[in-house]
Structure 1
Amino acid sequence: MAEGVHRLDVAHVNCYLVVRPDGMTLVDAGLPGTWGALREVLGHLRATPADIDAVVLTHGHFDHVGIARRLQRAHETPVHVHARDRRLARHPYLYRPERDRPPYLARYPKALPVLGDMVLRGALGVRGVTARASLANGHPLDVPGSPVPLWTPGHTDGHCALLFDDIGILFSGDAIVTLDPYTAETGPRLVANAATADSRAALASLDALAQVEAPLMLPGHGEPWRDGVRAAARLARAAGAR
């Protein structure tokens, strides 16, 4: 994605290994099936999972928590999240979206293979993790790369995008995605109401992202967006809530 930034794309779920001079940070923890991809990337770097200094979660949904517990248990890797998502990270299936999912599957049948791939990679068997409530809006986090959390509630109450300002990258999590797993629609947008807690808050959070000047946005689902975060926020607002 950029020098020292490695994308792990497993079953349409992205997480990112960020290698900086002061160590390695894993942004989000994907699905259980992400473990093999992580080992492959680390092997290429002549490193092991024990060399990861921190896991930072953009939010606590099951498809972003997948291997966090494994890293924590095996290697005592610190896991960080916003305080409002700490409970969700422990219980990553206990949340109520705005709308029920079955109507989406009927309305958007192209999403069925996407969701099916996620199930095959362990989406139904994620175990939660006890994370540190370390993310505070606008305050650099004391992990390699010193990302600045941008509190962007809506998708979840404690969702945070992560700005690595020195390398010009915003990790948007699910505040803006370029693939919605519940509709299979592409391009910058919000995640469907079938997995979003409060779409009005999610739309309002785009205001904060529209101020970010980073040229590269790396989302939780979908392809990288290289035309600037401001443009992504504008297009996501135009797409609206689904």
Structure 2
Amino acid sequence: MSKEHAGPGRTPDGVREVADGVLMITRALTNSYLIATDDGLILVDTGLPRSWPYLVAALAAHRSGPDDLVSVALTHGHFDHVGTVDRLQREHHVPIHVHEADVPLVRHPYRYDREASRALYPLRHPGGIPALAKMARAGALSVRGAAALGDIRPGEPLLGGLVPIATPGHTYGHTAFHLPDRDLLFTGDALVTLDPYTGRAGPQIVARAATADSTAALAVLGALAETRAGTMLPGHGDPWTAGAEHAVRDAHATGAH
């Protein structure tokens, strides 16, 4: 068994195994996922800048380092999901992949459309203040953009068997990833179990302060339900193991906020 395919050893704080061969890396309530596949180690999203030590620790659990990553697949280009993209690309030459509609956002991760003012959300939703403060301390205000390959196309499998699912709404090029052979669905911010803008837990779309089109975001949830995946791994919040269909029903009941 090669080091890329070896099972993880003891994982440190901020890193936990959430499925066979999948480590969830969490810093400031923001998740990325390291997946051991037959094609090598693949990272879904990269978290905030100060999640870097956690990524290194997750790779070390596989007796690997950043140079061993074969690919980064981004669900979208918001600052909290591309925080180490520049470093991975510049220092370790890791290929970065995203849907073509989010290529400009990866380059400029703060220039995104949203339906509501971010400034007013802490007043209306004070439960989100602790989460936003944690994100700021983890480098949310100092993310560097990078050039990404806009070659993720819905339905065309990627390395490791990830199947992209078009989920535009949160951003125009947002993409979820289905891993059918492991019954896993990486939802990014198309469907989360914790909204950092409100502090509210449970399956939902992200607040209008960070979503380009909440009507579209709710409409595309049907594509996630159609996978019938048993486990959902979101960009924010804990894994959901009661099935994608159940999560989508709950998200529709919650609606936009």
Note the residue ranges of structure 2 that are not aligned, 5 or more in a row.
1-17
Identity of aligned residues (%): 52
Name structure 1 gaps, 5 residues minimum: none
Deviations 1:102-153 (A, max 9, x none): 2211111121110000000100000011111111111112x2x121110100
SS in 1 for 2:133: helix
Select 2:233's aligned residue among 214, 218, 224. 218
> In the aligned structure 2, how far is the partner of 1:135 from the partner of 1:39?
25
Q: Displaced runs of 4+ in structure 1, greater than 6 A?
A: none
Q: Counterpart in 2 of 1:125?
A: 142
Q: Secondary structure at the match of 2:87?
A: helix
Which amino acid is 1:171 matched to? Answer: F
> C-alpha displacement at 1:40, in angstroms?
1.0
Per the TM alignment, residue 213 of structure 1 is displaced from its structure 2 partner at its CA by 1.3
**Alignment of 1:83 onto 2:100:** yes
Q: Check if 1:171 corresponds to 2:186.
A: yes
2:46 corresponds to which of 13, 29, 50: 29
In structure 1, what is the Cα distance between the partners aligned to 2:142 and 2:89?
17
C-alpha deviation, 1:96, in angstroms: 2.4
Q: CA RMSD in A?
A: 0.8
Name the CA distance, whole Å, in 2 between partners of 1:26 and 1:96.
Answer: 26
Task: Output the amino acid matched with 2:92.
Answer: H
TM-score by structure 1 length? 0.98
- Tell me the distance in 1 between the aligned counterparts of 2:90 and 2:161: 24
Determine the structure 1 residue equivalent to 2:130: 113
Of 168, 183, 189, 2:198 maps to 183
2:85 corresponds in structure 1 to: 68
Partner SS, residue 161 of structure 2: coil
Please name the residue that 2:120 is paired with.
Answer: 103
User: How far apart in 1 are the matches of 2:256 and 2:221?
Assistant: 12
CA deviation vs aligned residue, 1:53-105 (integer Å, no higher than 9, x gap) = 00000000000000011111111100000010010010000112100012211
Match of 2:33 in 1: 16
- Equivalent in the alignment of 2:169: 154
Query: Which residue in the other structure is 2:56 paired with?
Result: 39
- Return the letter of the residue paired with 2:224: L
**C-alpha displacement at 1:21, in angstroms?**
2.3
TM-score (norm 2): 0.92
1:119 and 1:102 map into 2 onto residues whose CA distance is: 14
Which residue in the other structure is 2:214 paired with? 199
